[in-house]
A and B are shown apart, each in its own frame.
Chain A
């Protein structure tokens, strides 16, 4: 199975088809590219659990990056520290074994790589030209969406646990 077939299979075995009519083209493309990039650069044995949308999200740390332009969006990565640590190690192969500064660097490096490849894809498809702000980390994450705003949560299950990816397409900046 090549990577494209793998991505199709992973998404077919999730609720992606069911929820995709409620998502914008931007969010759908983000999810498809995310699955592609995880399978290419982290682990191809993954399951996408139920994709949901929420209006608020809180976490004990913030590992995030803003996608800027029209549309603009907020992206983040979250999960249990031991799971994020293993994700960081699978991605970086640097011998990371604790949720320390290097683990957070690796997580943000993956987020930056994926977001970069995502906006390159949008550019190649002549959908839009976007940019990125530098990734950031803080001790707490507390997002409350604006009116009509929704945060899409994409939980990805690995053999070592679930990593959640968040995407909040900012209201008023939507293309579709």
Chain B
């Protein structure tokens, strides 16, 4: 599968965070990126689009990223979800893994770490 066929979903309530992540993904050649701003929209968009990887923030209005991770995984046990958040506390990391996320990236996002994650899961 070429990079142009790969569909990515970025979910963060911060416009800046979405822009930053989307720009990094674009620099790696991934242009097919869907953006949403809360966990509920992420769950709905996942069901519609079945993206290859989902990048989810934790702290968001309407529905948080951990709840959204659980719901996406209930819908699709093979969903590849990577949580990107500033709140990488021990408790949150445990919750993220328990919810079914594949990996965690601490904000501010390190570009090389993001690339490594993409290489690992695509």
Contacts and interface: CB of A to CB of B under 8 A. Distances in A.
Contacts of A112: 14, 59, 86
A105 B16 contact: yes
Given A116-B107, A132-B59, A134-B59, A109 B17 contact: yes
Given A113-B108, A116-B107, A133-B59, A105 B15 contact: yes
B90 to A, nearest CB: 5
Contacts, number: 56
A112 B90 CA distance: 18
Which one of A94, A106, A113, A116 has the highest number of Cβ atoms from chain B below 10 Å of its Cβ? A116
A113 B86 contact: yes
Nearest to B108: A113
A163 to B, nearest CB: 17
Contacts of A134: 13, 59-61
B92 A131 contact: yes
B91 A129 contact: yes
Contacts of A119: 87, 89
Given A120-B106, A132-B59, A105 B90 contact: no
Contacts of B13: 134
A174 B11 CA distance: 34
Interface of B: 13-17, 19, 59-61, 85-92, 106-108
Interface of A: 41, 92, 94, 102, 105-106, 108-109, 112-113, 115-117, 119-120, 122-124, 129-134
